[in-house]
């Protein structure tokens, strides 16, 4: 490879210092061709207390877990968008009107809502609008720090409608991880109060039930 070709190849990395966490390709947050083989979706999962099924990329372990950690705690929004695209490639477009992300916790230091970023990736594949309509009613402890029993005790009105626009619509809820499914159920309840209906939920990964 000659010097001009080398400089051209390195230019994206100099301008945008990022690289695919799987193959190391520079200038991109992740390669779709790297992410797709990592996804091993189970059959749609019924969630306790929900009227919809969960579509998820696979269990919360190995590469899927590592990508979530990099996305959230590395504050890597661009990676989240590509992860959402991968989900949109592996799942067929559902019969729904809008993608609605689970809201970011009040006063979160993250600076972006990873669920909304995943939804933006799904939007690219499914050509479906993202409606950022939900909000937490008040400050509460992030679910990742709680035990299972504490998660399930989340108040039924913990999530509320932050903006109008859901009435009469079929909604796809989007989140990064489903552990107990409680957050998605509370989001569903908010959607119903706003006049919408949840067709299904999509997450990057999930925590399988202990047997």
pLDDT (0 to 100) of residue 109: 82
Confidence of residue 9 (pLDDT cuts 50, 70, 90): low
pLDDT (0 to 100) of residue 164: 84
pLDDT (0 to 100) of residue 171: 97
C-alpha distances (whole Å) from 161 to each of 100, 138, 197 are: 11, 12, 13
Confidence of residue 26 (pLDDT cuts 50, 70, 90): confident
pLDDT (0 to 100) of residue 36: 98
pLDDT (0 to 100) of residue 121: 98
pLDDT (0 to 100) of residue 107: 81
Mean pLDDT, the chain, whole residue set:
89
Across 202-209, average pLDDT = 94
Across 46-73, average pLDDT = 94
Structure tokens at 192: 């119903």
pLDDT tens for residues 70-124? 999 999 999 999 999 999 999 999 999 999 999 998 888 888 999 999 999 999 9
pLDDT of 16 over the 70 cut: no
pLDDT (0 to 100) of residue 203: 98
Confidence of residue 48 (pLDDT cuts 50, 70, 90): confident
Across 59-66, average pLDDT = 96
pLDDT of 13 over the 90 cut: no
pLDDT tens for residues 184-205? 999 999 999 999 999 999 999 9
pLDDT (0 to 100) of residue 15: 59
pLDDT of 7 over the 80 cut: no
């Amino acid at each position: 490879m000659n010097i001009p070709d080398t400089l051209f190849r390195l230019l994206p990395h100099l301008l945008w210092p990022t690289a695919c966490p799987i193959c190391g390709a520079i200038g991109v947050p992740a390669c779709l061709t790297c992410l797709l083989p990592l996804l091993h979706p189970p059959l749609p999962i019924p969630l306790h207390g929900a009227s919809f099924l969960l579509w998820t990329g696979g269990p919360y372990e190995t590469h899927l877990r590592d990508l979530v950690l990099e996305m959230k705690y590395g504050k890597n929004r661009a990676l989240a968008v590509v992860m959402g695209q991968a989900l949109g490639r592996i799942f067929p477009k559902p019969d729904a009107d809008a993608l609605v992300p689970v809201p970011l916790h009040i006063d979160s230091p993250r600076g972006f809502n990873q669920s909304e970023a995943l939804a933006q990736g799904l939007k690219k594949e499914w050509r479906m609008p993202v409606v950022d309509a939900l909000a937490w009613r008040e400050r509460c402890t992030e679910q990742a720090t709680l035990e299972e029993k504490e998660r399930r005790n989340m108040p039924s009105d913990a999530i509320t409608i932050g903006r109008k626009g859901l009435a009469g619509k079929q909604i796809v809820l989007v989140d990064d991880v489903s552990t107990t499914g409680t957050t998605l159920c509370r989001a569903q309840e908010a959607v119903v109060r706003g006049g919408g209906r949840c067709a299904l939920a999509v997450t990057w990964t999930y925590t399988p039930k202990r047997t």
